[in-house]
């Protein structure tokens, strides 16, 4: 049975430090919330639908990284739309026209109104498997490929497309195994649309001239700023770090380096990142404040180009091995944090927490777990926010066979 964790960690040379062991505790009661479950019409075992998610207004996108339409593990992505009655329906299934086995198309996804981007970490160009990202645009209800994005200086196994983010006419794409600075130091590329063409603007690397590991494993974008996570800060001890870059519309410059005030070895700060205006959120799934690998998430704010840590998020019912921070999303004064190894619905069923900012402090508002959650579902592996509307992936769900996957849409303002 294929496990997505294996693909996430092993190609980058990292040994997963999060032990998959049942904690043996009684499940914590979770109150029902209003939610809608999304599944693929043609879902099948081991598709891992829900491994990546994105949402923009009334449209959502979900990656199914191990789908087999274009060959074994070629991957796909699905678009869903919300109707006037509030229900969601599948609008399209996106595939790479040149897709082939093992491309992992759908490893990452994002959407901004009528434009979607899909990362394929093993895609090839001219025989070089550096990875790629595909941009699709919608006209009416039809989706068509607009561009295949490739790095200007890519090399085999760079994992370009490992993470993607999109905001209007600008995209950022992570390549965490890029070797320009050092082995697997990583990079991220920004692209800007001009007409129907996408032009590479910059190759971002850890700055100023610093070292990092797997820079580009997580990316976010908001207006003229980007946030890039790196699982290691150059120490070789998986502490993690994140970098902010800004643009004047043409060039990109480094603005800040973010790291938790209480960073420790193995925290993997930067595993997930989110950005909304002058606020950033960064997940650290290996943090041990709540027990070994319980995880944490950190909030940062910008004032006059200066960034400072504003808060540290821990769930009220935190336990070891939850991997809180496995996904993060932020929209203004709302945030969602996934804990995909939480056990409320069974071992590794997963959960997601909602926080809101009130009087300068971030307060936990609720904990969400699917009403039909099951062991191994890994709800919280991916998350995205648009206003109060959240979409959370659960790639381990089994409605159409083992790890066929699902995603859930709900309002984070609904009281749990």
Domains assigned to the chain: 4-18+40-411 (2.130.10.130)
What is the mean predicted confidence (pLDDT) over 56-79? 98
Tokens (6 digits) for 201: 């603007």
Listed range (157-161, 182-186, 378-382, 386-390) with the worst mean pLDDT: 182-186
| Averaged confidence pLDDT in the chain | 90
If one counts every other C-beta atom within 10 angstroms of the C-beta of residue 235, the result is 14
pLDDT score of 222 more than 60: yes
Instruction: Write out pLDDT tens, residues 334-383.
Output: 999 999 999 999 999 999 999 999 988 899 999 999 989 999 999 999 99
What is the mean predicted confidence (pLDDT) over 314-330? 96
Which position has the token pair 């998350």? 383
DSSP 101: T
pLDDT score of 26 more than 60: no
What is the mean predicted confidence (pLDDT) over 14-21? 30
Residue 35 pLDDT class (50, 70, 90 cuts): confident
Task: Please report, rounded to a whole number, the percentage of residues in the chain having pLDDT higher than 70.
Answer: 90
Residue environment code for 72-81, b if the CB has 16+ CB neighbours within 10 A, otherwise e:
ebbbbbbbbb
Do 64 and 393 touch, CB atoms closer than 8 A? no
What is the mean predicted confidence (pLDDT) over 5-24? 35
Q: Name residues whose C-beta falls within 8 Å of residue 402's C-beta, 6 or more positions apart in sequence.
A: 1, 45, 46
Phi–psi pair at 5, nearest 5 degrees: -55, -35
Q: Give the model's pLDDT for residue 250.
A: 84
Q: Give the model's pLDDT for residue 366.
A: 93
CA distance 338 to 392: 8
CA distance 237 to 28: 33
CA distance 144 to 142: 7
What is the pTM (predicted TM-score) of this model? 0.92
Residue 4 pLDDT class (50, 70, 90 cuts): low
Q: Give the model's pLDDT for residue 303.
A: 95
Q: Give the model's pLDDT for residue 20.
A: 28
308 membership: H or E segment, kind and range: strand 306-313
C-alpha distance from residue 293 to each of 28, 265, 290, 342, 350 (Å): 19, 11, 8, 11, 14
Q: Give the model's pLDDT for residue 30.
A: 42
Which position has the token pair 């996106």? 94
DSSP code string of 394-416: ETT--BTBTT-BEEEEEETTS--
354 membership: H or E segment, kind and range: strand 351-358
Q: Give the model's pLDDT for residue 12.
A: 36
C-alpha distance from residue 274 to each of 102, 218, 239, 283, 329 (Å): 28, 9, 18, 9, 5
CA distance 371 to 270: 30
Q: Name residues whose C-beta falls within 8 Å of residue 313's C-beta, 6 or more positions apart in sequence.
A: 281, 296, 297, 298, 299, 335, 337, 353, 355, 362, 364
Q: Give the model's pLDDT for residue 144.
A: 98
Q: Give the model's pLDDT for residue 211.
A: 75
Q: Give the model's pLDDT for residue 7.
A: 43
Q: Give the model's pLDDT for residue 210.
A: 66
CA distance 210 to 212: 7
C-alpha distance from residue 258 to each of 153, 191, 206, 214, 401 (Å): 27, 23, 12, 15, 41
CA distance 288 to 320: 8
Residue 249 pLDDT class (50, 70, 90 cuts): confident
Q: Give the model's pLDDT for residue 209.
A: 56
What is the mean predicted confidence (pLDDT) over 147-165? 96
Instruction: Write out pLDDT tens, residues 161-177.
Output: 999 999 999 999 999 99
Give the ranges where 122-244 is alpha helix by DSSP (H): none
What is the mean predicted confidence (pLDDT) over 105-128? 96
């Amino acid at each position: 049975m294929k496990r997505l964790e294996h693909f996430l960690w092993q190609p980058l040379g990292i040994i997963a430090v999060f032990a998959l062991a049942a904690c043996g505790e009684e499940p914590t009661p979770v109150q029902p919330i209003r939610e809608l479950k999304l599944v693929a019409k043609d879902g099948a075992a081991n598709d891992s639908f829900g491994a990546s998610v994105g949402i923009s207004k009334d449209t959502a996108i979900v990656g199914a990284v191990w789908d087999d339409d274009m060959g074994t593990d070629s991957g796909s992505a699905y678009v869903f739309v919300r109707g006037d009655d509030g229900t969601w329906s599948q609008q399209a299934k996106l595939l790479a026209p040149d897709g082939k086995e093992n491309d992992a198309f759908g490893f990452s996804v994002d959407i901004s109104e009528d434009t979607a981007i899909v990362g394929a970490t093993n895609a090839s160009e001219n025989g070089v498997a550096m990875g790629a990202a595909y941009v699709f645009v919608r006209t009416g209800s039809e989706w068509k490929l607009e561009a295949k994005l490739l790095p200007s200086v890519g090399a085999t196994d760079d994992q370009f497309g490992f993470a993607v983010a999109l905001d209007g006419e600008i995209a950022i794409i992570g390549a965490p195994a890029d070797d320009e600075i050092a082995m697997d130091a990583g990079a991220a590329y920004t692209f800007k649309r001009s007409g129907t063409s996408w032009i590479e603007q910059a190759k971002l690397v850890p700055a100023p001239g610093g070292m990092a590991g797997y820079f580009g494993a997580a990316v976010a974008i908001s207006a003229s700023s980007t946030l890039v996570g790196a699982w290691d800060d150059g120490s070789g001890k998986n502490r993690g770090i994140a970098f902010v870059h800004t643009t004047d519309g043409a060039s990109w410059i480094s603005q800040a380096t973010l790291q938790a005030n209480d960073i420790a070895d193995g925290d993997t700060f930067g595993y997930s990142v989110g950005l909304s205006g002058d606020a950033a959120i960064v997940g650290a799934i290996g943090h041990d404040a709540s027990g070994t690998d319980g995880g944490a998430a950190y909030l940062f704010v910008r004032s006059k180009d200066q960034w400072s840590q504003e808060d540290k998020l821990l769930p009220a019912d935190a336990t070891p091995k939850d991997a809180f921070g496995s996904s993060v999303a932020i929209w203004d004064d709302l945030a969602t944090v996934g804990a995909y190894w939480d056990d409320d619905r069974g071992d590794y069923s997963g959960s997601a927490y909602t926080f809101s900012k009130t009087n300068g402090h971030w307060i936990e508002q609720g904990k969400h777990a699917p009403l039909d959650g099951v062991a191994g579902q890994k709800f919280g592996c991916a998350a995205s926010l648009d206003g109060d509307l959240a979409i959370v992936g659960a790639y381990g769900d089994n409605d159409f066979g083992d790890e066929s996957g699902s995603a859930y849409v709900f309002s984070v303002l609904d009281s749990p």
